[in-house]
Amino acid sequence: MPSVDSAGLNDLSLYPRKSVGPMPPSRPRVPVRPNFSKPRSATAASTGVRPAPARVNGSTLQKETQWLARAVDAECAGDGVEAELCRQYAEHWFRVSRGQD
């Protein structure tokens, strides 16, 4: 244990000092770019991100009908959010067919 002098300070001469040499030359910092080619470990369902809807082919009226059918299917499955999304797509194609969009 180090001794305490009259001023109440520890005698630090018992501990060897580490030599501090010159600092290594610093390299310029290069920003790290994300690697987008890595496979993602989390699925879209677990992160809460909704995947892009599947493409619907056909005329505007066929697309409207198909989106309405998807809305019914989603409602039957209990997914009200998906059903509303499909209804919005159907409304979009309805407006496109009428020239309103």
pLDDT tens digits, one per residue of 80-95: 999 999 999 999 999 9
Q: Express the helix, strand and coil content of the chain in percent, nearest 5 each.
A: 45, 0, 55
- Residue 101: per-residue pLDDT: 57
pLDDT tens digits, one per residue of 36-49: 776 666 655 556 66
Q: Which domain holds residue 88?
A: 56-101
**Is residue 83 in a domain?**
yes
**Is residue 61 in a domain?**
yes
**Is residue 17 in a domain?**
no
**Is residue 6 in a domain?**
no
Of 52, 60, 68, the closest CA to residue 96 belongs to: 60
- Within 10 angstroms of residue 86's Cβ, the number of other Cβ atoms is 23
Of 64, 54, 53, the closest CA to residue 97 belongs to: 64
Q: Which residue has the tokens 């000092």?
A: 17
Number of domains in the chain: 1
**Is residue 84 in a domain?**
yes
pTM attached to this predicted model: 0.48
Write the CB contacts of 92 (distance below 8 Å, at least 6 apart in sequence): 101
